[in-house]
Chains A and B, each alone.
Chain A
Amino acid sequence: MAMTQERAIGSPVLRKEDPELLTGQATFIDNMTLPGMAWMAMVRPPFVHAKIDSIETSDAASMPGVIGVYTAADLEGEWGGPLPFVWPITEDIKVPVHWPLTKDKIRFNGDAVAVVVAETRAQAKDAAEAVTVKATRLPAVTDMEEAMKDEVVIHEDLGTNVVVHWSHGGAGDQGVFDTAPVIVKERYHQPRLIPNAIEPRGCLAMSIPAQGEFTLWSATQIPHVVKVTLSGTCNIAESKLRIIAPDVGGGFGSKLNVYAEEALSLVLARRTGRPIKWIEERTENYVATTHGRGVTHDVTVAATEEGKILGFKVEELADMGAYFQLLTPGIPELGGWVYMGPYDTQSYWFEFRGIVTNATPTDAYRGAGRPEATYVLERAVDALARRLAKDPAELRRLNLHAPFSEATAFSSGLSVDSGNYEPALDRALELADYHQFRKEQQARRESGDVKQIGIGLSTYIEMCGLAPSQILGALRYAAGGWDGATIECLPTGKVIVKTGTSPHGQGHVTSWAQIVSDGLGVPVDDIEVLHGDTAITPLGMDTYGSRSVAVGGVALHFAMEKIKAKARTIAAHELEVSEDDVEWADGAFRVKGAPDKAKTIPEIAFSAWHAHALPGGVEPHLNGTAVYDPPNFTWPAGTHICVSEVDTETGAVEILNYVAVDDCGVVINPQIVEGQIHGGVAQGIAEALYEEALYDEGGNLITSSMTQYLVPSAMEIPSMTLDRTETPSTTNPLGVKGIGEAGTIAAPPAVINSVIDALSHLGVTEVGKPATPERVWRAIQRAKGGAA
């Protein structure tokens, strides 16, 4: 019976979720059909900011196949309340009321005024185009500083567009921001981004009217949150509402929300008695699905002449868009806890103002507040290095926090679980061939080469594993941050794992099986992981904020502890020894000193199932449920280095080398972790060089489709070199920290710093984001004193 089990944790197990995705057998939302199903289409008239005078629906209603056309007035009685907003971050925050269909005014490009239900997709879409909306245009504001003047107030009942002011800090001597020997002040703008999950949103609602029961399938990251919130919005008992996230084609924060279409499909299923399906089109996605970023920061760095950073002071303006979606003002707040980075600083100040504009609501986009913060810090550190004429790598080294293996308070006031930052910096410098590139840079500067070389660094820290419920409560977030796991050991030796996380590409089915394989001594192939269905996995808080392994994964550990406590009792009983004489070793309970006398979990599960001879007081069936509330966040960190070549005549930027050395604590599956970093870095490079949502003066989205908004292809994204350091988290027994967002957090400043570094000898200190050839060229011309 004795056997040595190979550890599954840490090995690159090939993904269990791949076969259906590789063969076209996946269940994405648009692949689903129900008998009697009707289609929904949204009416989004071509206005940005306008007072609605009339909505004429009769032409549309008489078109072929149309079942009904509904305006806000038609659905008045259906709602228990407006769309959910769950993070009122201050007591005096002004919350724009947000109904699934707007009643009086159109406030942004995507604001829907009516909805059509028809027999087919095409009929619904045709009829939506036949709805005539007469409205009086109002001046539109999409620029935050214009909006702050309140010359145009978007929600009259709020009286202002400046709807929230949140400040945090005061740690350390605040005087240093005026009196320090070296003070660097910078202003950075980070434009709006469009998340672009390749699968657009979509949903399918079904009701059983006689029972008052509803099921909603939705391309969402957060089925559990959708259930709790929409039960209120749609007046459905939570116990009668089931939400299922089928296979979901990427999210990146854009599906971490509760949207009007989900609510409308439920109430229209109730109204019509038909299953209702809605699938978003891409151009619709660009206006109706949340955007990310859209922030401007003023940062002050206080430092000594030697380059020791005393503190960062940050004031931010954050574009909320026309309404709050689920978390909108919470995103800059989340970033508000990391404006010290991995640096050992004393003084801390952060505040932001949230500004309503006539644009698509903003919300989480991969990294959610932390990329914005890291961009500001890492740009500012480079600005300080230029001021002091110091090597940016050495300036960072001087300021990195010393290693610590127990939770340690940082200047933002939160306690960081563990950190050892310098080895990642050293390794990244080595992999990037830093000193060689510095020599090459010098040579090209001296020869006046048209193509100049720049090296950009980013030493980052993240706050992941969202989140300790007590802290969320203190931050006025409406929910907790725990997650659940139920593990069932079946009599045939197979194991079912029910997780509260809701993956959409992250590979939880495989990684969770690895964790359970090691914990229970069962092969990965015998473990089935179920997720994303509130009826099957009712205990969950879903997937976002690099939380899944650090919360949901750890919940597995505690569920297994319960299973093993029971299994030990059964094993000792069957082995006819006392429980103290049984130990868990090599994947089984074994008699101490006689390891061949053993019981495996599958054997014990069979005994627990037939229950013929269980010890007294032991219930049949071997299963365990745990709900884990993390005692702290987890704090991954690392160093990314980008080496770029900039053509000083055209402004074109080419990345020559990209190195990422990340520390996400203990790694469950290195292949999946690398994939997360690749994808995150690619999105970060996209943010730095290509992507930007642009509005015209009338508030219309100019970058309104994939032909105008530059999602990069394989031609634009370079091959990357990755490595890791491993500093186990002290927050949880698995030592895991999370890796979903690291790349997106670290990459934008590394890339922009590299572009500026290539041109700094010409006097360039800013190129703007994204650093398009035109922007870079203009920056060079400005520095030369020429026309730009």
Chain B
Amino acid sequence: MTRIEVTVNGVRRDAEVEPRQLLVYFLRETVGLTGTNVGCDTSSCGACTVLLDGESVKSCTLLAVQSDGREVTTIEGMASDGEFHPLQEAFHRNHGLQCGYCTPGMIMAAASFLHENPTPTEEQVREALEGNLCRCTGYQNIVKSILDAAGQMSGVKA
């Protein structure tokens, strides 16, 4: 077992983890934050996307020990004071989710992307989502949601 210190959604967590434990299972099983989903075992689907020091990563591709001393943000850390994050709000408004299983990963990937590119084109949004698979929505309303959120976040009316 290895000792790690990770800040998850602003709260410091000290834990003993098995060296082979993946970050996603550390979050789900050790920390108890089950909002981050697992959809594949080949790092293909992106359902497990979280932010590591603000940048999106697939939490099934990292070991928990690799998050030692760093900051992780999960879907549970997005809303604040009972208010949706603008991305959550936009996904709701634009029907950007159906079964909701890919949604946390989509939102985390989009959060990281909009931080890099606050005013993207549709094509850029689609490119940014290449690593996140959805089987329900055909992506159309996900893309629309992210463009809408970008507008809201940069103060421009969507």
List the interface of chain A (C-beta within 8 A of B).
14-15, 17-19, 21-26, 28, 30-31, 122, 196-200, 247-250, 252, 281-283, 504-507, 671-672, 674-675, 678-683, 705-707, 711, 713-715, 717, 719-720, 743
Contact = CB atoms under 8 A, between A and B. Distances in A.
Contacts of B40: 282, 705-706
B92 A22 contact: yes
13 contacts: A14-B95, A21-B100, A22-B91, A22-B97, A30-B34, A200-B39, A675-B141, A678-B137, A679-B136, A705-B40, A706-B45, A714-B125, A719-B140
A713 B42 contact: no
B91 A706 contact: no
Contacts of A679: 98, 135-138
Contacts of B140: 678, 717, 719-720
Given A22-B84, A711-B135, A719-B140, A198 B98 contact: no
Interface stretch (B51-59, B61-69, B102-110, B150-158): B102-110
Question: What does DSSP make chain A's interface, helix, strand, loop or mixed?
Answer: loop
B141 A198 contact: no
Interface of B: 20, 28, 33-42, 44-45, 47, 74-76, 78-79, 84, 88, 91-93, 95, 97-104, 107, 122, 125-127, 129-143
Most buried by A among B75, B98, B131: B98
Given A675-B95, A707-B44, A715 B35 contact: no
A250 B136 contact: yes
B135 A30 contact: no
Question: What does DSSP make chain B's interface, helix, strand, loop or mixed?
Answer: loop
Contacts of B74: 24
A363 B139 CA distance: 26
Contacts of B132: 713-714
B97 A21 contact: yes
Contacts of A282: 39-42, 44-45
B95 to A, nearest CB: 5
A678 B98 CA distance: 11
Contacts of A247: 99-100
A28 B88 contact: no
Nearest to B35: A24
Contacts of A198: 37, 39, 45, 47, 99, 101-102, 133-136
Most buried by B among A19, A706, A707: A706
A122 B18 CA distance: 11
Given A22-B100, A249-B100, 18 more contacts: A18-B100, A23-B79, A28-B34, A198-B133, A247-B99, A247-B100, A249-B101, A250-B101, A505-B98, A675-B136, A679-B135, A707-B42, A713-B126, A714-B130, A714-B134, A715-B129, A715-B130, A717-B139
A720 B137 CA distance: 12
A295 to B, nearest CB: 22
Contacts of A252: 135
Contacts, number: 174
Nearest to A27: B34
Nearest to B18: A122
B65 to A, nearest CB: 16
Contacts of B100: 17-18, 21-22, 26, 247, 249, 505
A249 B142 contact: no
Given A197-B135, A679-B138, A713-B131, A18 B44 contact: no
A455 B74 CA distance: 44
Contact of A14 (B44, B92, B136, B137): B92
B135 A706 contact: no
Given A674-B95, A714-B125, A199 B101 contact: yes
Contact of B97 (A18, A674, A711): A18
A332 B133 CA distance: 29
Given A14-B92, A24-B74, A248-B99, A678 B42 contact: no
A18 B102 CA distance: 13
A362 B131 CA distance: 28
Contacts of B97: 18, 21-22
B88 to A, nearest CB: 4
A22 B88 contact: yes
Contact of A24 (B38, B75, B84, B143): B75
A24 B45 contact: no
A24 B36 contact: yes
Nearest to A20: B100
Q: Which 4 residue pairs of A and B lie closest in terms of their CB atoms, listed nearest first?
A: A24-B35, A21-B100, A249-B101, A505-B99
A707 B39 CA distance: 13
A200 B76 CA distance: 22
A607 B96 CA distance: 42
Nearest to B107: A22
Contacts of A22: 75, 84, 88, 91-92, 97, 100, 103, 107
A672 B94 CA distance: 10
A706 B44 contact: yes
A23 B75 contact: yes
Given A197-B135, A717-B139, A504 B36 contact: no
B76 A720 contact: no
A15 B47 contact: no
Nearest to B103: A21
Most buried by B among A19, A199, A713: A713
Nearest to A282: B40
A743 B136 CA distance: 11
Contacts of A506: 98
A715 B129 CA distance: 8
Contact of B34 (A31, A200, A680): A31
Contacts of B134: 198, 714
B139 A714 contact: yes
B99 A249 contact: yes
B123 to A, nearest CB: 9
A24 B34 contact: yes
Contacts of B42: 282-283, 705-707
Contacts of A19: 92
Contact of B37 (A18, A199, A674): A199
Contacts of B34: 24, 28, 30-31
Contacts of B28: 30-31
Contacts of A249: 37, 39, 99-101
Contacts of B107: 22
A248 B125 CA distance: 27
B78 A23 contact: yes
Contact of A682 (B37, B88, B122, B139): B139
Contacts of A671: 95
B10 to A, nearest CB: 15
A711 B38 CA distance: 16
Contacts of A683: 135, 138
Given A199-B99, A248-B99, A715 B126 contact: yes
A531 to B, nearest CB: 14
Contact of A283 (B41, B126, B131): B41
B33 to A, nearest CB: 7
Contacts of A30: 28, 34, 37-38
Contacts of A14: 92-93, 95
A21 B127 CA distance: 24
Contacts of A678: 137-141
A248 B136 CA distance: 12
A672 B95 CA distance: 7
Nearest to A706: B44
Contacts of B41: 281-283, 705
A717 B93 contact: no
Contacts of B35: 23-26
Contacts of A719: 122, 140, 143
Nearest to A281: B41
A464 to B, nearest CB: 18
